[in-house]
Amino acid sequence: MGMKRRAISPVIATLLLIVIAVAAAVLTYIWLTGYMGTITPHQAPTQLQERVKIDAVKVNTTGVYIYVANVGDVDTSIVGAYVLTLNYTVVCGGSNNYALPKGSTTQVPVQGTCTLTSGKTYIAKVTAKQGSEATYTFVAP
């Protein structure tokens, strides 16, 4: 009698099918990510940002003036200017609308009567049209 040939056991056959399926999935993933990389741009579009900075604060008998620079990428306007205590209590200020083209500096008067104590530290704050803010700490003369 001849030798009987045996087939691969069911366990090994199952493992072999799993390995083939995983390899096919990995190759498909690699192919798709490579394809997606060619159709999506490699650089994100440049976002334009609104940014303002307070350069100085001037206090005299006629009022308080905040010098604001537009250091962002877009034209904006200052819609609020305030003087606050160090505890963030509003001393004076309110809404206004002063145009601030990109790269420029403007003087923004603080609305209202500011009663400041000489030698005391205050915070000047401005708010721009799209919501960016800047603060500057100063000592009243």
The tokens 């090994």 sit on which residue?
12
Contacts of 125 (CB under 8 A, 6+ apart): 80, 81, 82, 83, 84, 93, 133, 134, 135, 136
DSSP, collapsed to helix, strand or coil, labels residue 15 as helix
Looking at residue 13, its pLDDT comes to 84
Each residue of 48-83: pLDDT tens digit? Answer: 789 999 999 999 988 999 999 999 989 999 999 999
Does residue 119 come out as left (phi exceeding 0), alpha (psi in the -120 to 50 range) or beta?
A: left
Question: Per-residue pLDDT averaged across 133-141, rounded?
Answer: 94
- Domain boundaries 52-139, corresponding CATH code: 2.60.40.10
Phi, psi of 56, rounded to the nearest 5 degrees: -165, 165
Each residue of 4-37: pLDDT tens digit? Answer: 666 668 888 889 999 999 999 988 888 877 766 6
Share of the chain above pLDDT 90, in %: 60
Each residue of 108-125: pLDDT tens digit? Answer: 999 988 899 999 999 999
Residue 81: its H or E element: strand 76-84
* Statement: residue 136 has pLDDT above 90: yes
- Burial annotation 1-13 (CB, 10 A radius, 16+ → b, else e): eeeeeeeeeeeee
* Statement: residue 43 has pLDDT above 90: no
